[in-house]
Structure 1
Amino acid sequence: MDKSYTPQNIETKWYETWEKNNYFKASGEGSPYCILIPPPNVTGSLHMGHAFQHTIMDSLTRYHRMKGDDTLWQCGTDHAGIATQMVVERLLDAEGKKRTDFTREQFVEKVWEWKETSGGTISQQMRRLGDSPDWDREAFTMDEDLSNAVQEVFIQLFEEGIIYRGKRLVNWDPKFQSAISDLEVENHDEKGFLWHFRYPLAEGAKTSEGKDYLVVATTRPETMLGDSAVAVNPNDERYKDLVGKFVMLPLVNRKIPVIADDYVDMEFGTGCVKITPAHDFNDYEVGKRHNLPLINIMSPQADILAQAEVYEFGGKPREDIDNSLPQNYAGLNRFDARKQIVEEFKSNGLLEKIDDHALKVPKGDRSNDVIEPLLTDQWYVAVESLAKPAIEAVRNGDIKFVPENWDKTYYHWMENIQDWCISRQLWWGHRIPAWYDENGKVYVARSEQEAREANGLSADVVLRQDNDVLDTWFSSALWPFATMGWPNETPELEKFVPSSVLVTGFDIIFFWVARMIMMTMKFTGKVPFKEIYITGLIRDEHGDKMSKSKGNVLDPIDLIDGIDLDSLVTKRTSGMMNPKIASQVEKRTRKQFADGIEAYGTDALRFTFCALASTSRDINFDLGRVEGYRNYCNKLWNAARYVMMNTEGEDCGKENSNMELSIADEWIISRLQKAITEYEKHVNEYRFDLATQTLYEFSRNDYCDWYLELSKPILYGDAYSDEQKRGTRHTLVNVLENMMRMLHPMMPFITEEIWQRLKPMVNTETDSIMLAAFPKFDASKVSDKALTDLEWLKKLIVGVRNIRGELNVSPGKPVNVLLKNANDNDRRCMQEYRGFISALAKLESLEEASESTPPSATALAGEMEVLVPLAGLIDVTAEVDRLNKEIEKLTKETQRLSGKLNNANFVERAPDAVVAKEKEKLADAESALKKLTEQKAELENIGS
Structure 2
Amino acid sequence: MTESLDAHRPDAPTLAGQYQPGEVEQRRYEQWVADGRFRASADSDREPFTIVIPPPNVTGSLHMGHALDHTMQDALVRRKRMQGFEALWLPGMDHAGIATQNVVERQLAEQGLSRHDLGREKFVERVWQWKDTSGGTILGQMRRLGDSVDWDRERFTMDEGLSRAVQTMFKKLYDDGLIYRANRIINWCPRCLTALSDIEVEHTDDDGELVSIRYSDDVVVATTRAETMLGDTAVAVHPDDERYRHLIGTEVELPLTGRRIPIVGDPHVDPAFGTGMVKVTPAHDPNDFEIGQRHDLPALTIMDERGVITAHGPFEGLDRFEARPAIVAALRAQGRIVAEKRPYVHAVGHCSRCRTTVEPRLSLQWFVNTSPLAKAAGDAVRDGRVRIEPPELAKRYFAWVDNMHDWCISRQLWWGHRIPVWYGPDGEVVCVGPDEEPPSSSGDGPGWHQDEDVLDTWFSSGLWPFSTLGWPEQTPELAKFYPTSVLVTGYDILFFWVARMMMFGLYAMDGKQPFDVIALHGMVRDDHGKKMSKSFGNVVDPLDWIDRYGADATRFTLARGANPGGDVPVSEEWCQGSRNFCNKLWNATRFALINGAHAVGPLPEAERLSTVDRWILSRLAHVTAEVDEQFESYEFAKVCDLLYHFAWDDVCDWYVELSKPVLAGGGESAEVARRVLGHVLDQLLRLLHPVIPFVTEELWTALTGGETVLTAPWPVSDRALVDDAAEAEVATLQRVVTEVRRFRSDQGLRPTQRVTARLDGLAGAGVAAHEPLIRSLARLDPAGEGFQASATLAMPGEVSVALDTRGSIDVAAERARLTKDRTAAEKEAGQARAKLDNPAFVGKAPEQVVAKIRERLAVAEADLARIDAALEALSS
Instruction: State the TM-score, normalized to the length of structure 2.
Output: 0.88
> Aligned partners of 2:505, 2:792: CA distance in 1, in Å?
68
Cα deviation for residue 809 of structure 1 reads 3.5
Alignment of 1:151-166 (within 5 A): 151-166=167-182
| Matching of residue 430 in structure 1 with residue 412 in structure 2 | no
Cα deviation for residue 350 of structure 1 reads 2.6
Give the conservation status (yes or no) of the 8 Å contact 2:284–2:301. Answer: yes
Cα deviation for residue 259 of structure 1 reads 1.2
Q: Aligned pair in 2 of structure 1 residues 238, 636: CA closer, same or farther (>3 Å)?
A: same
> Aligned partners of 1:371, 1:621: CA distance in 2, in Å?
33
- 1:197 aligns to what? 213
Give the conservation status (yes or no) of the 8 Å contact 1:652–1:726. Answer: no
Structure 2 letter corresponding to 1:706: W
Structure 2 unaligned spans of 5+: 1-14, 819-862
Structure 2 letter corresponding to 1:484: L
| Matching of residue 790 in structure 1 with residue 730 in structure 2 | yes
| Matching of residue 745 in structure 1 with residue 690 in structure 2 | yes
Instruction: Decide which of 735, 755, 778 is 2:680's aligned counterpart.
Output: 735
Instruction: Decide which of 43, 63, 70 is 1:47's aligned counterpart.
Output: 63
| Matching of residue 528 in structure 1 with residue 468 in structure 2 | no
Q: Aligned pair in 2 of structure 1 residues 86, 445: CA closer, same or farther (>3 Å)?
A: same
| Matching of residue 362 in structure 1 with residue 349 in structure 2 | yes
| Matching of residue 610 in structure 1 with residue 559 in structure 2 | yes
Q: Cα deviation per residue 1:330-361 (whole Å; 9 max; x = unaligned)?
A: 33322232233223223333333322222322
Cα deviation for residue 622 of structure 1 reads 2.2
Instruction: Decide which of 754, 760, 767 is 2:699's aligned counterpart.
Output: 754
Paired residue secondary structure (1:548)? coil
- 2:317 aligns to what? 331
Structure 2 letter corresponding to 1:842: R
Instruction: Decide which of 368, 389, 392 is 1:405's aligned counterpart.
Output: 392
Paired residue secondary structure (1:335)? helix
> Aligned partners of 2:164, 2:445: CA distance in 1, in Å?
29
Instruction: Decide which of 290, 294, 304 is 2:295's aligned counterpart.
Output: 290
> Aligned partners of 1:300, 1:182: CA distance in 2, in Å?
19
RMSD, aligned CA:
2.8
> Aligned partners of 2:116, 2:144: CA distance in 1, in Å?
39
- 1:87 aligns to what? 103
- 1:321 aligns to what? none
Paired residue secondary structure (2:206)? strand
Cα deviation for residue 821 of structure 1 reads 5.7
| Matching of residue 844 in structure 1 with residue 781 in structure 2 | yes
Alignment of 1:631-646 (within 5 A): 631-646=580-595
> Aligned partners of 1:673, 1:940: CA distance in 2, in Å?
44
Q: Aligned pair in 2 of structure 1 residues 692, 882: CA closer, same or farther (>3 Å)?
A: closer
Structure 1 letter corresponding to 2:383: N
> Aligned partners of 2:376, 2:238: CA distance in 1, in Å?
38
- 2:3 aligns to what? none
Alignment of 1:276-287 (within 5 A): 276-287=281-292
Is 812-821 or 227-236 further displaced after alignment? 812-821
Q: Aligned pair in 2 of structure 1 residues 464, 14: CA closer, same or farther (>3 Å)?
A: same
Alignment of 1:351-500 (within 5 A): 351-356=337-342, 357-446=344-433, 450-452=437-439, 461-500=446-485
- 1:769 aligns to what? 709
- 1:183 aligns to what? 199
Instruction: Decide which of 22, 25, 29 is 1:15's aligned counterpart.
Output: 29
Is 243-252 or 809-818 further displaced after alignment? 809-818
Instruction: Decide which of 342, 350, 357 is 2:328's aligned counterpart.
Output: 342
Cα deviation for residue 234 of structure 1 reads 2.4
> Aligned partners of 2:657, 2:183: CA distance in 1, in Å?
76
Structure 2 letter corresponding to 1:227: D
Give the conservation status (yes or no) of the 8 Å contact 1:803–1:858. Answer: no
| Matching of residue 517 in structure 1 with residue 448 in structure 2 | no
Give the conservation status (yes or no) of the 8 Å contact 1:473–1:512. Answer: yes
> Aligned partners of 2:710, 2:359: CA distance in 1, in Å?
52
Structure 2 letter corresponding to 1:360: A
> Aligned partners of 1:184, 1:384: CA distance in 2, in Å?
22
- 1:242 aligns to what? 247
Instruction: State the TM-score, normalized to the length of structure 1.
Output: 0.82
Cα deviation for residue 942 of structure 1 reads 4.6
Paired residue secondary structure (1:614)? coil
Structure 1 letter corresponding to 2:810: E
Give the conservation status (yes or no) of the 8 Å contact 1:653–1:727. Answer: no
> Aligned partners of 1:654, 1:446: CA distance in 2, in Å?
62
Cα deviation for residue 146 of structure 1 reads 0.2
Q: Cα deviation per residue 1:862-902 (whole Å; 9 max; x = unaligned)?
A: 322322233xx2227x7247779999xxxxxxxxxxxxxxx
Instruction: Decide which of 206, 225, 232 is 1:227's aligned counterpart.
Output: 232
- 1:869 aligns to what? 803
- 2:822 aligns to what? none
Structure 1 letter corresponding to 2:292: G
Q: Aligned pair in 2 of structure 1 residues 349, 841: CA closer, same or farther (>3 Å)?
A: closer
Cα deviation for residue 92 of structure 1 reads 1.3
Cα deviation for residue 98 of structure 1 reads 1.4
Give the conservation status (yes or no) of the 8 Å contact 2:520–2:565. Answer: no
- 1:665 aligns to what? 613
Give the conservation status (yes or no) of the 8 Å contact 1:815–1:868. Answer: no
Give the conservation status (yes or no) of the 8 Å contact 2:793–2:867. Answer: no
Identity %: 46
| Matching of residue 107 in structure 1 with residue 114 in structure 2 | no
Paired residue secondary structure (1:273)? strand
Is 766-775 or 120-129 further displaced after alignment? 766-775
> Aligned partners of 1:337, 1:448: CA distance in 2, in Å?
51
Structure 1 letter corresponding to 2:358: I
Cα deviation for residue 461 of structure 1 reads 4.1
Structure 1 letter corresponding to 2:589: A
Give the conservation status (yes or no) of the 8 Å contact 1:304–1:330. Answer: yes
Cα deviation for residue 21 of structure 1 reads 1.1
Structure 1 letter corresponding to 2:238: N
Cα deviation for residue 619 of structure 1 reads 2.2
> Aligned partners of 2:250, 2:314: CA distance in 1, in Å?
29
Paired residue secondary structure (2:767)? helix
Give the conservation status (yes or no) of the 8 Å contact 1:880–1:936. Answer: no
Give the conservation status (yes or no) of the 8 Å contact 1:506–1:536. Answer: yes
Give the conservation status (yes or no) of the 8 Å contact 1:819–1:864. Answer: no
Q: Aligned pair in 2 of structure 1 residues 936, 684: CA closer, same or farther (>3 Å)?
A: closer
Q: Aligned pair in 2 of structure 1 residues 846, 420: CA closer, same or farther (>3 Å)?
A: farther
| Matching of residue 711 in structure 1 with residue 659 in structure 2 | yes
> Aligned partners of 2:773, 2:346: CA distance in 1, in Å?
71
Q: Aligned pair in 2 of structure 1 residues 339, 743: CA closer, same or farther (>3 Å)?
A: same
Give the conservation status (yes or no) of the 8 Å contact 1:799–1:860. Answer: no
- 1:908 aligns to what? none
| Matching of residue 627 in structure 1 with residue 560 in structure 2 | no
Q: Aligned pair in 2 of structure 1 residues 351, 800: CA closer, same or farther (>3 Å)?
A: closer
Paired residue secondary structure (2:537)? coil
The higher relative CO (CA closer than 8 Å, separation ≥ 6) is in 2
> Aligned partners of 1:4, 1:860: CA distance in 2, in Å?
41
> Aligned partners of 1:667, 1:351: CA distance in 2, in Å?
82
Cα deviation for residue 704 of structure 1 reads 0.5
- 1:274 aligns to what? 279
Paired residue secondary structure (2:391)? coil
Structure 2 letter corresponding to 1:494: A
Q: Cα deviation per residue 1:495-549 (whole Å; 9 max; x = unaligned)?
A: 2111111001111112111111111111112100000011011111111111111
Structure 1 unaligned spans of 5+: 201-210, 306-324, 562-598, 761-765, 848-852, 888-930
Q: Aligned pair in 2 of structure 1 residues 668, 842: CA closer, same or farther (>3 Å)?
A: same
- 1:725 aligns to what? 670
- 2:821 aligns to what? none
| Matching of residue 264 in structure 1 with residue 269 in structure 2 | yes
Structure 2 letter corresponding to 1:714: V
Cα deviation for residue 939 of structure 1 reads 7.7
Give the conservation status (yes or no) of the 8 Å contact 1:817–1:866. Answer: no
